[in-house]
Amino acid sequence: MKHHAYFKTAAETPPPLTLSITRAVRFDELDPLSIVWHGRYASWFEEARMALGDHYGFGYLDFFNHGVTIPLKKFHADFNRPLTLGLPYRVTARLCWNEAARLDYEFAIHNADGELMSTGYSVHLMIDRAQGVLVAKPPFFEDFCRRWRRGEVG
């Protein structure tokens, strides 16, 4: 399955970390045209992003327990084909390498046949408890990134 790349990666950077979740479209996610309302995609991307972070040990609570929040700075979605009631689909989240104190995620939604239905991305900053934007990664995440760069996670 092809994954649209929103963020450029240099050859020397580690490959993105990837995780997928599967779901089926529920009735309450439809708009009056009987297709998924566009606002639902943000929550689906978020659900996959949270699963990825929790899987690798840098979820919301991991950051919070280290005095850092990771608010959304930018969000974008591209809609290729509509999703309809009962349709099974997979949301894939990819965390792309970044030297800065920010998280760059790419997302793709594929139906059960592997057709690309939607793509998108989000950028999250790192904020300390005093609401200051971090310019360096917090130590626990920097340690994780060192292991990621050495190929010890994935």
Q: Could you give all domains of the chain from N- to C-terminal order, each with its CATH number?
A: 17-149 (3.10.129.10)
Q: What is the pLDDT of residue 10?
A: 84
Q: Give dist(CA 97, CA 81) in Å, integer.
A: 29
pLDDT at residue 11, as a whole number: 86
Chain segment 5-63, per-residue pLDDT in tens: 899 888 889 999 999 999 999 999 999 999 999 999 999 999 999 999 999 999 999 99
Section 141-151 average pLDDT: 96
Give the pLDDT score at 30: 94
Q: What is the DSSP string of 23-74?
A: EE--GGGB-TTSSB-TTHHHHHHHHHHHHHHHHHT-SHHHHHHTTEE--EEE
Reported as a pLDDT band with limits 50, 70 and 90, residue 66 is very high
pLDDT tens by residue, 67-93: 999 999 999 999 999 999 999 999 999
pLDDT greater than 80 at residue 2: no
pTM, two decimal places = 0.93
Q: Which residue has the tokens 């989000």?
A: 122
- 97 pLDDT higher than 90: yes
Q: Quick check: 1 pLDDT over 60? A: no
Coil, helix or strand at residue 93: strand
Q: How confident is the model at residue 3 (pLDDT cuts 50, 70, 90)?
A: low
Contact predicate 88/39, CB 8 Å: no
Once rounded to an integer, what is the mean pLDDT over residues 112-127? 97
Average pLDDT on 121-136 reads: 96
What does the alpha-carbon distance between residue 87 and residue 26 come to, in Å, rounded to a whole number?
8
